[in-house]
Amino acid sequence: MFLAFPWQPVQAYKYAGYRWGGSFPKVGANTSGLLINAWRTSASDAIGSWNNAGAQFNFYSQDGSANKMGYYYEQSDVLAYAKTYRRYVFSGDIVKAEIYVNNFHNFNPPYTSGAWHDLRTVRRHEYGHWLRLDHSQVQAAVMYYAIPHNTVKNLAADDINGTRYIYGAR
């Protein structure tokens, strides 16, 4: 006996199950808490990467937005983390988000020698969590759970497909 199933593309990205509201969400990101100019630039570059992914979603820089970026210092392996807040405790669309980078680690910029982590890659990853992508199984993806030292990652097809799945393609 032979069974045939319709072909479906393999999806490695994982969707957290909720998202920013609206048919084409536009979300401001407050970079005023980033005191180093190169860090603001890295945030803008990461925003641009996701905006160019072709999904019906748009980040933009907006000082004063509730969606904040900052930093903290903790001796741990955690490079950064993102938090999202929903309209209600366990349901509803996202209404606010934050990203915090751990200053315990050496980031490029400003470090370019020794062991460093690319700040643009880390921010791309955390913005992916703002979009509600979970960690991917694809090692080349920005949303892969680990970012090795001295590695720069741009969005991979898996990242782009995940965002388009959640928000639709432009």
Amino acid at 27: V
Choosing from 98, 118, 126, 159, which is the catalytic residue?
Answer: 126
Q: What are phi and psi of 99, to 5 degrees?
A: -130, 135
Q: Residue 138 and residue 146: Cα distance in Å, rounded?
A: 11
- Bridge partners for 59 per DSSP: 27
Q: What are the residues whose beta carbons fall under 8 Å from the beta carbon of 77, sequence distance 6 or more?
A: none
Query: Which helix (DSSP H) or strand (DSSP E) does residue 164 occupy?
Result: helix 157-167
Burial class of residue 106, CB neighbours in 10 A (0-12, 13-18, 19+)? middle
126 is catalytic: yes
| Spatial distance between the Cα atoms of 63 and 60, rounded to a whole number of angstroms | 10
Please list the active-site residues: 126
